[in-house]
Amino acid sequence: MVELPSDCGFGFGLFTDLYELTMAQAYIEDGMTGESVFSLYVRNLPEKRKYLLAAGLDSVLEYLQSLRFTEEDLEYLDTTGLFCPSFLDWLRSFEFAGDVYAVPEGTPIFAGEPILEVVAPLPQAQLIETFVLNQVHVQTLLASKASRIVTAAAGRKVVDFSSRRTHGTDAALKAARAFYLAGVSATSNVLAGKIYGIPISGTMAHSYIQAHDSEEAAFRAFTAIYPETVLLVDTYETIKGVSRVISLARELGEDFRVKAIRLDSGDISSLSMEARRMLDDAGLEGVEILASGGLDEDRIVELLSSGARLDGFGVGTRMGVSSDAPDLDIVFKLCQYDGMGKVKLSAGKPILPGRKQVFRGFREGRASGDIIARDSENLPGRPLLEPVMRKGVPLGPGAKSLDELREYASGELAALPDSVSSLSPEEHSYPVDVSQALLNFQEKVSLQVDS
Amino acid sequence: MVELPSDCGFGFGLFTDLYELTMAQAYIEDGMTGESVFSLYVRNLPEKRKYLLAAGLDSVLEYLQSLRFTEEDLEYLDTTGLFCPSFLDWLRSFEFAGDVYAVPEGTPIFAGEPILEVVAPLPQAQLIETFVLNQVHVQTLLASKASRIVTAAAGRKVVDFSSRRTHGTDAALKAARAFYLAGVSATSNVLAGKIYGIPISGTMAHSYIQAHDSEEAAFRAFTAIYPETVLLVDTYETIKGVSRVISLARELGEDFRVKAIRLDSGDISSLSMEARRMLDDAGLEGVEILASGGLDEDRIVELLSSGARLDGFGVGTRMGVSSDAPDLDIVFKLCQYDGMGKVKLSAGKPILPGRKQVFRGFREGRASGDIIARDSENLPGRPLLEPVMRKGVPLGPGAKSLDELREYASGELAALPDSVSSLSPEEHSYPVDVSQALLNFQEKVSLQVDS
């Protein structure tokens, strides 16, 4: 795990909703510091998602390890008049001491399935809710979107161009990592490359072409410095731009090593076909054609099925904000306190009580269905939740590298039934059941509630 | 301006797209370090937005002042094999030395109008593109969404509950500030309260109720510590929850000082009417009713027009991700280099060349139309762009506090024609013209392009 400037270190203790702090104080004053279990899951999937790709655990573990309150934080809290000295002292010596169980990053998950469960003294578990939800939400959201785009690209490279329009800097960095986890090849964000060791990639911008006296001069100048670059050909007139690339190839002969051209506007499909023909006719079969500009999985499928001749995609905004589904119905719910299962009876928002496990069944190497069960059950199938932190200490030895997680995600996605992993809008039939023992327990707890 | 852990300090030099760095090196190698002008604007507004509320300038100025490259950054860049020692030296001594002109935060703006313009040596201006777009994008996006929600609430308080589902931590903090700028009353995010001096607010969560043996016990315990709190009444059965609040009031008599109850699920409209009746009948006219759960401007209008008896709203996800329009078509475009106006001819993506000014006309105190002009023009109306940074130094003396900007935004929004500021979906007719001189200049520059 890497220290990020954006969410670790000084002062992130206060990245929490005020009520987490007031509730924590109330718990402590009333002696309610017993062990609690909170479960983090997505209640319902967005209409256009058939699965989610779990991500964000790394940030959660990093946060839980480094979470502290500074004197400056405590001084600020004191100014609110809401907190008593003994609670501020409790914060002063705060160190997260709970256990965490989670599905590995890159695991496909479904509605209602715990992504992680926290077992910790009640005030501690309450306090971490806001950050933990924030990070698992954005990273799972973006990994899930990217997974669809990678599927649409059908083996062609997808490069993340989204940093300029993600929601803030933290999202840009986490996006780059989540996209890579989901199968994206590279990011344009240099800081993400540095922090996460992800491949970085870039072409050239319209401003570079415009700044020169002519497109020709710009192409010549850029290839002189970066012989193996990608040339952007649509600043003025795309087909003329392609001709200029071909002229440059003639001029440079053996020294011409341009890898690709990029189309960013106009009728990308027909322009790609014409550009391919022109390049091939000039003996430049090796020069690839990349597309960018408002791409997402639907647009990529549309382009490819129209016969567009494209070798890769630069995908920005629509992946970077998950534009068709920019949020998930994700929650962090108390499901046990002091050994007692807990539920809610609010309309349409049920809770499965107690610690849980998800068992994923497989038939002939393909996932055949999940069962959400009590953690004490031992059902057929692979258990998805693993212990990842014990008494505040990450269980490091088993930790996988980002590349290993990416490999794992790819394998897990390939093991989903085609009806689930495909982009087709049809209803899929992936079964997610709740075990009889868990249903019985839920009923028992619900009946005990003094509602 | 405040030092944020999230986007200042160490290592944010590399928060940029790779091509900004490769282009900067190419400019320097070719001696293209002359003065450039880049203009930042939104090409087209999302369908459901009739205006945008500009925000993010504070973060931009903070970034430009503090932008440096560390030795660690340079070592990383060196490993890519793309950069020569003289360029790394240039980065080592980098200090932004340009001028910035911008509309004040809180200014309503329209498609095509520059939000800010940067005048700086070409490689410098190129390098800052990614971060500057990222910040103005997210903050303008979220301020604009919040402005609609504040309008819908029609004078009732709106509180930001979005931190758990914004895209990352930076977005959560910037959101809280942007929302406050747009008229939201408070945020639940304690760190945002500390950093920006925004009022913080919070109620209680379902987990608090669940953790206790009964709802009654939870209400009693919480009000014992926080007498003026807000009680959440829907954990088990809303109307029973309201009865318990009333019982508690009878029990506590004079000591009962609960400010409000919160409804978070079910048929909020009818529940609010019944709760109001019950509270009033019990002589608790002073206890307010707040709503939360999946709210946005449409839902708030729907609730209020159905006769819901609500005094305030806790708004989360849909405001926090601007769910109906989660991105803006925002760009940062070269429009002048070395004294020459610059354009693009790409399909559907025109650029207005040169430095510009926006003149906003007023009739009887209401905005009557804008003209985008060359900066050398002196047209009727109030010029919106002001100098905010000179040679890398913010023009501090004129800088307004966040509360002053909030006041300014409120006044500017009130001065918009009702057809523009209202939530009605009709087409509005706010005129934004381009001056004849600017059109002539654009045509002249376009003809000169060697396309």
Per-residue pLDDT of chain B (451 residues; tens, 9 = 90+): 334 444 444 458 999 999 999 999 999 999 999 999 999 999 999 999 999 999 999 999 999 999 999 999 999 999 999 999 999 999 999 999 999 999 999 999 999 999 999 999 999 999 999 999 999 999 999 999 999 999 999 999 999 999 999 999 999 999 999 999 999 999 999 999 999 999 999 989 999 999 999 999 999 999 999 999 999 999 999 999 999 999 999 999 999 999 999 999 999 999 999 999 999 999 999 999 999 999 999 999 999 999 999 999 999 999 999 999 999 999 999 999 999 999 887 767 789 999 999 999 999 999 999 999 999 999 999 999 999 999 999 997 667 999 999 999 999 999 999 999 999 887 777 999 999 999 999 999 999 886 6
pLDDT digits over A96-145, tens only?
Answer: 999 999 999 999 999 999 999 999 999 999 999 999 999 999 999 999 99
Number of neighbours of residue A71 by Cβ within 10 angstroms: 9
Task: Give the neighbor-by-neighbor strand order of the sheet with A35-42.
Answer: A340-341, A330-337, A35-42, A116-121, A99-102, A386-390, A393-394
Instruction: Record the pTM.
Output: 0.96
- SS3 call for B324: coil
Q: Residue A75: helix, strand or coil by DSSP?
A: helix
> Which residues, including other chains, have CB under 8 Å from residue A163's CB and lie 6 or more apart?
A172, A175, A176, A187, A188, A189, A192, A320, B15, B16, B17, B130, B134
Cα A200-A201-A202 angle, rounded to 5 deg: 140
Terminal C-alpha separation, chain A: 44
B450: nearest CB among A76, A213, A264: A213
- pLDDT over threshold 80, residue A396: no
pLDDT digits (tens, 9 = 90+) for A65-104: 999 999 999 999 999 999 999 999 999 999 999 999 999 9
Amino acid identity for residue B99 in this structure = D
What is the arithmetic mean of pLDDT over A308-323?
A: 98
Contact yes or no for A344 and B451 at CB 8 A: no
Rounded Cα gap, residues B203 and A19, in angstroms: 6
Q: How far is Cα B302 from Cα B299, in angstroms, rounded to an integer?
A: 5
Q: Specify the pairing of strand A157-160 against strand A312-315.
A: parallel
Percent of chain A with pLDDT over 90: 92
CA nearest A161 in B: which residue? B17
A 10 A CB-CB count for B256 gives 16
Extract long-range pairs of B362-365: CB within 8 Å, 24+ residues apart: B362/B415, B365/B415
Token pair recorded at residue B139: 């903050």
The sign of the dihedral angle between the CA atoms of A42, A46, A50, A53 is: negative
Over residues A186-214, the mean pLDDT reads 95
Is the CB of residue B294 less than 8 Å from the CB of residue B318? yes
In angstroms, rounded to a whole number, what is the distance separating the alpha carbons of residues A207 and A222?
A: 13
Q: Which of B12, B21, B165 lies closest to A137 in CB terms? A: B165
The answer to whether B17 and B180 have CB atoms below 8 angstroms apart is no
Question: Residues 389-448, chain A: which have Cβ within 8 Å of B?
Answer: none
The mean pLDDT value for A1-19 works out to 65
Query: Residue A450 CA to chain centroid, in angstroms?
Result: 39
Rounded alpha-carbon distances, angstroms, from residue B117 to A423, B331, B332, B410: 42, 11, 9, 24
Q: Are B356 and B39 in contact (CB under 8 A)?
A: yes
Chain A contact for B200, CB < 8 A? yes
Nearest-angstrom CA–CA distance, A22 and B205: 10
CA–CA dist B178, B170 (Å, integer) = 12
Strand pairing category for A230-232 and A260-263: parallel
The strand pairing partners of A357, in sequence order, are: A373
pLDDT for res A431: 95
| Burial bucket for residue A408 (CB in 10 Å: 0-12, 13-18, 19+) | middle
User: How crowded is the C-beta side of A406, counted as CA atoms within 13 Å?
Assistant: 19
Nearest one of B256, B265, B191, B24 to B124, comparing CA atoms? B24
CB spacing of A346 vs B264 below 8 angstroms: yes
User: Would you state the pLDDT for residue B451?
Assistant: 64
Tell me how far apart the alpha carbons of residues A69 and A76 are, in angstroms, rounded to a whole number: 11
Distance from C-alpha of B167 to C-alpha of A328, rounded to nearest angstrom: 11
pLDDT value of position A398: 64
With an 8 Å Cβ cutoff, are B188 and A82 in contact? no
Q: Give the total residue count for chain A.
A: 451
Q: Residue A40's pLDDT band (boundaries 50, 70, 90)?
A: very high
| B18 interaction partners in chain A (CB closer than 8 Å) | 188-190, 193, 200-202
Which of chain B's residues have a Cβ under 8 Å away from the Cβ of A226?
22, 26, 82
**Alpha helices (runs of H) in B282-353, residue ranges in sequence order:** 297-305, 317-320
Rounded-to-integer distance, Cα B441 and Cα B434, Å = 11
Chain B residues closer than 8 Å to A63 by CB: none
**CB neighbour list of residue B63: distance below 8 Å, 6 or more residues apart:** B7, B8, B12, B128, B131, B132, B135
Query: Do residue B202 and residue A226 have CB atoms under 8 angstroms apart?
Result: no
Is pLDDT above 70 for A2?
no
Burial classification of residue B440, based on how many CB atoms lie within 10 Å of its CB (0-12 exposed, 13-18 middle, 19 or more buried): exposed
Enter the DSSP assignment of A364: T
- Which three-class secondary structure state does DSSP give residue B230? strand
Q: Measured between CB atoms, does A87 come within 8 Å of chain B? A: no
- What average pLDDT does the segment A320-332 reach? 98
B105 and B56 Cβ atoms separated by less than 8 Å? yes
A362 touches chain B (CB under 8 A): no
Mean pLDDT, to the nearest integer, of A411-426? 93
Distance from CA of B157 to the nearest CA of A (A): 17
Asked if B167 and A167 come within 8 Å (Cβ–Cβ), the reply is yes
Residues in chain B, total: 451
Contact B69, B91 (CB under 8 A): yes
Q: Which of A20, A80, A164 to mutate to test the interface with B (most CBs of B within 10 A)?
A: A164
Q: Is the dihedral of CA B65, B170, B144, B407 positive or negative?
A: negative
Is B68 near chain A, with CB under 8 Å? Answer: no
- Whole-number Å distance between alpha carbons of B25 and B85: 11
Distance CA B53, CA B62 (A): 20
| Position A350 confidence tier, pLDDT thresholds 50, 70, 90 | confident
Q: What is the pLDDT of residue A397?
A: 61
Q: Does A264 touch chain B (CB under 8 A)?
A: yes
Report how far Cα B271 is from the mean position of its chain's Cα atoms: 33
Q: Which of A320, A351, A348, A367 is nearest to A434 (CA)?
A: A351
* CB neighbour class for A339 (10 Å; exposed up to 12, middle 13-18, buried from 19): exposed
Supply the pLDDT for residue B398: 64
* pLDDT band for position A346 (cuts 50, 70, 90): confident
- Tokens at residue B227, please? 């007498």
Q: Find, in chain B, the residue whose alpha carbon is nearest to that of A206.
A: B344
Domains of chain A: 12-142+329-448 (3.20.140.10), 148-320 (3.20.20.70)
Chain pair A-B, CB pairs under 8 angstroms: 364
How far apart, in whole angstroms, are the C-alpha atoms of residue A143 and residue A105?
Answer: 10
B15/A169 Cβ within 8 A: yes
Distance from CA of A154 to the nearest CA of B (A): 25
pLDDT band at A11 (very low <50, low <70, confident <90, very high): low
Query: Sorting pLDDT into bands at 50, 70 and 90, what band is A226?
Result: very high
Q: Is A84 left (phi over 0), alpha (psi -120 to 50) or beta?
A: beta
Burial letters for B38-56: b for 16+ Cβ neighbours within 10 Å, e otherwise? bbbbbeebbeebbbbbbbb
Task: Kindly list the residues from chain A whose CB atom is less than 8 angstroms away from the CB atom of residue B122.
Answer: 211
Nearest CA in chain A to B264: A346
Work out whether strand B108-109 and strand B52-53 pair parallel, antiparallel, or are unpaired: antiparallel
| B116: amino acid identity, one letter | L
